[in-house]
Structure 1
């Protein structure tokens, strides 16, 4: 809040408090010429008389005490613009303290799962069920309730992992998050070979998903022309065969499943505009143990435990 708005709020609060004090004082005093409390001359139906009796003193004083309490409240808690209050209380601090208490309680509840390997948790039906609940509350908004993803959000039920699919890599993704950046290459490609270079590169990337890439390149001249652009600009991240690099989060371009549209126009859009995907870190939100349980559930979706592992005791 700027200083100008802060002073505006302070002035508004003081004006309202002063207005309440003046209203009480003005309405409680008797002025010369006022009728007596029992004589207002307002009579209806012969025996219904309106009186002008003032409020009892104790009632008026109670209103004054309420105003004093309100002023003290505004001084103790933040209520005067940017003034932090004499107590130093903030809603953010209250939230953080309450969250810390709740997190400690949850950590104690899930203590039996703390530090256990992801594959062991994935083989424990109870741990998987808890992880599924955590996933539904925290992750389903992006990845869907069935974890099959959406455009821009990966499918977690297949065997395609941009950042690696080992238990430790999945846990790291949940704990610390990921940030994948595909830079826009449209300007570079257009400068090298014109607008058709973008289409040729997109055709080559699409050809990488076919069963026989060499055969596709022999029959698709557009894709064959795009290979040279791919080799000069894209291999640094995606590799010479397009298999990607988990250390960089560069996706495997030969995989059938992708986060973004795999049509020629969709690939062109990716090349021209680039992509920026962010997986937020959940270490601070869920804590170590709950993140571990969620990661175990996610890992189990593409690595279902066998029957013997499913009956393992916690």
Structure 2
């Protein structure tokens, strides 16, 4: 708060308190020349008369105590402009104290799981339960309460991982986030293969997951293969298996993050995509991130190392 606004607030506070005190003092007693209490000329039904009398002394004293309390409050707590008060209380400080107390309680709760490997935590029912609770509060907004995702948000309950599904890679994703970028290739492809170039590449990409389909050898797919090998192999590889180092998806499976329709594929190739997984290191801390990563990892790897998946593979 600037100095000018601070003094403006102080002036308003002093004026209001002073005004209340003056009004209370002025009306607390009768003065010479005041009409008699019964001389108000306000009479109803012949015998109901309005009087004009000061408040009882005990009531007036309560008002003075209220004003004294207000002055003491303003000395101890902030309220007089930029003056912080002698008690040095602030809502930010109160929040910090509450947060520190809650963090200490959480630290005690999560201490047994600190630093443990993801696959070990996945075998612990208590750890999985805590991880699921954290997932519901933090991750379900994008990935859904069942972790099966939606268009543009990965399904976490299957065995397909664009950035790798090892325990360390999953933890890295939760802690530091991911930025998946599919460049816009429409202009480049049109310059290389004509106005139908994007459709050609889309047709070829569709065949990668259906190598025995009749359209594998059709004209559009054949033209698209040439264009694919000139541009797309840098990320997705000559065989279309992708690259988990950079988050390039495997094009040979039946999972399509943004949908498998021709319209969706053409838009992806021509306009590109940008998917962002936020970093949760600061929000959750490492131990809670480990717990939620263990829960997510257990959805496709089973509840214990080497166990069968609990949900089974699903298209993701």
**TM-score for both structures, normalised by structure 2:** 0.81
Alignment of 1:115-194 (within 5 A): 115-194=115-194
In the superposition, relative to structure 1, how do residues 26 and 110 fare at CA in structure 2: closer, same or farther (>3 Å)? closer
Larger CA deviation: 203-212 vs 7-16: 7-16
Unaligned segments of structure 2, at least 5 residues = 309-316
- Secondary structure of residue in 1 paired with 2:54: coil
Q: CA shift at 1:100, angstroms?
A: 3.2
User: Conserved in 1, the CA contact under 8 Å of 2:200 and 2:224?
Assistant: yes
In the superposition, relative to structure 1, how do residues 179 and 308 fare at CA in structure 2: closer, same or farther (>3 Å)? closer
- Secondary structure of residue in 2 paired with 1:102: helix
Select 2:244's aligned residue among 240, 243, 246. 246
Larger CA deviation: 256-265 vs 181-190: 181-190
Q: C-alpha separation between the residues in 2 aligned to 1:148 and 1:114?
A: 28
Give 2:26's aligned residue.
29
Alignment of 1:285-304 (within 5 A): 285-304=283-302
Give 2:312's aligned residue.
none
Q: C-alpha separation between the residues in 1 aligned to 2:94 and 2:226?
A: 59
- Secondary structure of residue in 2 paired with 1:277: strand
**Post-superposition CA distance 1:29-70 (Å, at most 9, x none):** 258865344542323334432222234442442343355346
Q: C-alpha separation between the residues in 2 aligned to 1:84 and 1:139?
A: 42
Select 2:231's aligned residue among 228, 233, 252. 233
User: Conserved in 1, the CA contact under 8 Å of 2:120 and 2:304?
Assistant: no
Give 1:264's aligned residue.
262
Q: CA shift at 1:149, angstroms?
A: 0.5
How large is the Cα RMSD of the aligned pairs? 3.2
Give 1:105's aligned residue.
105
In the superposition, relative to structure 1, how do residues 117 and 62 fare at CA in structure 2: closer, same or farther (>3 Å)? same
Give 1:58's aligned residue.
61
Q: C-alpha separation between the residues in 1 aligned to 2:83 and 2:144?
A: 42
- Secondary structure of residue in 2 paired with 1:106: helix
Give 1:277's aligned residue.
275
In the superposition, relative to structure 1, how do residues 124 and 11 fare at CA in structure 2: closer, same or farther (>3 Å)? same
User: Conserved in 1, the CA contact under 8 Å of 2:74 and 2:80?
Assistant: no
Q: CA shift at 1:184, angstroms?
A: 2.0
**Post-superposition CA distance 1:91-124 (Å, at most 9, x none):** 4454344333322211211222222221122122
Q: CA shift at 1:245, angstroms?
A: 1.4
Q: CA shift at 1:303, angstroms?
A: 0.7
**TM-score for both structures, normalised by structure 1:** 0.81
Q: C-alpha separation between the residues in 2 aligned to 1:111 and 1:67?
A: 46
Unaligned segments of structure 1, at least 5 residues = none
Q: CA shift at 1:78, angstroms?
A: 6.9
Larger CA deviation: 166-175 vs 192-201: 192-201
**Post-superposition CA distance 1:208-234 (Å, at most 9, x none):** 221448x6431x321221223222222
Q: C-alpha separation between the residues in 2 aligned to 1:84 and 1:233?
A: 65
User: Conserved in 1, the CA contact under 8 Å of 2:119 and 2:305?
Assistant: no
